[in-house]
């Protein structure tokens, strides 16, 4: 388990060394983004607007997973700004600034397609990073193919992270993730579980679906008073194979 936590620590606390970045899973970043896609930076310039210095990235959109494809993306030229170089390729998450700019930042969760980024790390760690990026892309491609624009437009949350449940540990599984559509009733209990993509292991799948079916979602007391009808959301779960120090497990976190 130590290696998994090392990755999570490196990707959150290290990135937030100069900035205070919220830790979000892929589906949260997807939901919060105006545009999500694979892009190549083909040029950049500086623009001053409303006394703010902006870096303007001219981009080529290689694949669009959500939103309209922009020709430029902005970033504030400051400590928490996004800094990419010409010809670099990125998985980009953006938001809309109050002035209408489609923007991104250091905390947006952008990932560079560059194995040299981890050149000083161990071969094992570099391999984990490559698999991690591929899994993110595979999830995004499936969400796109299912025409899913938002995974959760409610204030419900699953409330489970690393190692969702002991009953889901110790299985062999070739797939890296599964996706479910879930209907939640006004009592916050699960009414219906529909698989969009199952794990291959039938026993693991049966246990996982039973776990989801019996799970009660959470929300604030204030929000619970607003739930007067069934709500639907998409749940993405990730499989992590056994390592030297831990059993295989299923998690809602994309580590």
Among 87, 115, 143, where does a domain finish? Answer: 115
**229-234 mean pLDDT:** 92
Asked whether the beta carbons of 34 and 95 are under 8 A apart, the reply is yes
Q: What is the pLDDT of residue 20?
A: 85
Nearest to 153 by CA among 229, 249, 233: 233
Instruction: Give how many domains the chain has, as a whole number.
Output: 2
Length of the chain: 255
Give the structural domain span for 60: 2-115
Say whether both 171 and 231 belong to one domain: yes
Burial-class residue 88 by CB neighbours within 10 Å (0-12, 13-18, 19+): middle
**Do 92 and 196 lie in a common domain?**
no
Sheet holding 95-96, edge to edge: 95-96, 102-103, 72-76, 52-66, 36-49, 89-93, 111-112
Q: What does the alpha-carbon distance between residue 5 and residue 255 come to, in Å, rounded to a whole number?
A: 8
- 147 located within any domain: no
Lowest-pLDDT choice from 144-158, 186-200, 218-232: 218-232
Looking at 72, 90, 115, which one is the last position of a domain? Answer: 115
Q: How confident is the model at residue 221 (pLDDT cuts 50, 70, 90)?
A: low
Q: pLDDT tier at 115 (50, 70, 90 boundaries)?
A: low
Same domain membership, residue 18 and residue 100: yes
Q: Rounded to whole angstroms, how far apart are CA atoms 116 and 31? A: 29
* pLDDT score at 160: 56
Could you tell me the end-to-end alpha-carbon distance of the chain, in angstroms, rounded to an integer?
12
Residues 24 and 84 in one domain: yes
CATH, residue 110? 2.40.50.120
Q: Does residue 101 sit in the same domain as residue 204?
A: no
C-alpha to C-alpha distance for 10 and 17, rounded to whole angstroms? 10
Task: Please check whether residue 40 lies inside any domain of the structure.
Answer: yes
Contact 154, 229 (CB under 8 A): no
pLDDT of 170 over the 50 cut: yes
**Using one digit for the tens of pLDDT, what is the confidence trace for 140-163?**
999 999 999 999 988 787 765 556
Q: Which range in 2-16, 152-166, 167-181, 204-218 is most confidently predicted, on average pLDDT?
A: 167-181
Compute the distance between CA of residue 212 and CA of residue 235 in angstroms, rounded to an integer.
10
Domain end, chosen from 94, 115, 136, is at 115
Q: Is residue 132 part of a domain?
A: no
pLDDT digits (tens, 9 = 90+) for 10-48: 444 444 446 788 889 999 999 999 999 999 999 999 999
pLDDT higher than 90, residue 70: yes
């Amino acid at each position: 388990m130590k290696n998994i936590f090392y990755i999570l620590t490196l990707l959150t606390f290290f990135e937030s060394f100069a900035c205070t970045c919220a830790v979000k899973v892929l589906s949260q970043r997807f939901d919060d983004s105006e545009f999500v896609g694979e892009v190549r930076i083909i040029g950049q310039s500086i623009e001053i607007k409303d006394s703010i210095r902006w870096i303007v990235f001219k981009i080529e959109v290689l694949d669009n997973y959500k939103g309209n494809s922009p020709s430029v993306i902005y970033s504030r030229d400051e400590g928490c700004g996004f800094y990419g170089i010409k010809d670099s390729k990125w998985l980009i998450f953006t938001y809309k600034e109050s002035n209408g700019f489609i923007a991104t930042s250091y905390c947006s969760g952008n990932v560079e397609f560059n194995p040299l980024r981890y050149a000083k790390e161990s071969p094992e760690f570099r391999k984990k990073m490559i698999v991690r990026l591929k899994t993110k892309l595979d999830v995004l491609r499936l969400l796109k193919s299912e025409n899913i624009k938002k995974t959760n437009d409610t204030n419900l949350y699953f409330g489970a992270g690393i190692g969702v449940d002991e009953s889901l540990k110790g299985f062999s599984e070739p797939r890296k993730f599964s996706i479910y559509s879930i209907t939640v009733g006004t009592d916050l209990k699960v009414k219906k579980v529909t698989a969009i993509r199952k794990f291959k292991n039938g026993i693991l799948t049966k246990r996982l679906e039973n776990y989801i079916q019996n799970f009660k979602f959470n929300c604030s007391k204030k929000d619970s008073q607003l739930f007067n009808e069934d709500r639907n959301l998409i749940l993405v779960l990730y499989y992590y194979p056994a390592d030297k120090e831990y059993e295989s497990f299923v998690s809602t976190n994309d580590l």
